[in-house]
Chain A
Amino acid sequence: DQQVKQNSPSLSVQEGRISILNCDYTNSMFDYFLWYKKYPAEGPTFLISISSIKDKNEDGRFTVFLNKSAKHLSLHIVPSQPGDSAVYFCAATRGGSNYKLTFGKGTLLTVNP
């Protein structure tokens, strides 16, 4: 049972335009959400996170939106750059002593010059 879903395996965007990556979750106990970026043969690097008490968090070109009623979050990258080309993973967790991240399957973003 996949609790975190990224339904788009890939996304292609022109440089300078907006990239929107989507993520859905099924576990209503999740209260903290993260986005990671990953290049081939490397470990994921943290991008941005959001707590369930917020509906938006922004960090430079990256903004994450959370819609709790729809159990949906999205990552917006504006403007997109060729260096943003990577696999993006959505992750979710429930706070507390048993802290662990559940990841989606990832979306491969390609930003074309």
Chain B
Amino acid sequence: DGGITQSPKYLFRKEGQNVTLSCEQNLNHDAMYWYRQDPGQGLRLIYYSQIVNDFQKGDIAEGYSVSREKKESFPLTVTSAQKNPTAFYLCASRLRGLAGELFFGEGSRLTVL
């Protein structure tokens, strides 16, 4: 089945450690996105990529990094510079060139101990 797979679903990290969240899609979508959800805050855009080897900062990119070496993969690294990393992280994708919806993965819950 086509879809977006995020892993791990739950992740615990000690302060000062970097962690990488995986996002893989087999929908042949060009664009991919990372959002963060905090209670009462809605979804906020971290990074997005319209094509391979290109990505742009979203509204809250500080403390995060991404790469887009393959069309189907868009990993997010939460660095130790991110002050409040505990959150629910959502990856999404869409076909480029069409006005339409983003398809979301199931999310990854990161907790910093």
Known: A97-B50, A104-B42, A105-B41. 7 other contacts (CB 8 A): A36-B101, A43-B90, A46-B102, A46-B103, A101-B45, A103-B42, A103-B44
Interface residues on B, range: 20 to 34
A36 to B99 Cα, complex, angstroms: 15
CA distance A45 to B4 in the complex (A): 12
Residues from chain B with Cβ under 8 Å of A102 in the complex = 45
Residues from 20 to 67 in A contacting B, C-beta threshold 8 Å: 32, 34, 36, 41-46, 49, 51
Is B90 touching A99 in the complex (CB atoms < 8 A)?
Answer: no
Residues of B within 8 A of A44 (CB): 43, 90, 104
In the assembled complex, how far is the CB of residue A95 from the closest CB belonging to chain B, in whole angstroms?
5
Main secondary structure of the interface of A (DSSP, over half): loop
B96 & A99 in contact (Cβ 8 Å cutoff) = yes
Interface residues of B in 29-88 (CB under 8 A from A): 31, 33, 35, 40-45, 48, 50, 56, 58, 88
Binding site for A on B (CB under 8 A): 4, 31, 33, 35, 40-45, 48, 50, 56, 58, 88, 90, 92, 94, 96, 99-107, 109
Instruction: Check if A100 is an interface residue, CB within 8 A of chain B.
Output: yes
By the criterion of a CB under 8 Å from any partner CB, how many residues of chain A are at the interface?
27
Contacts of A95 in B (CB 8 A): 99
**Does the CB pair B90–A100 fall under 8 Å?**
no
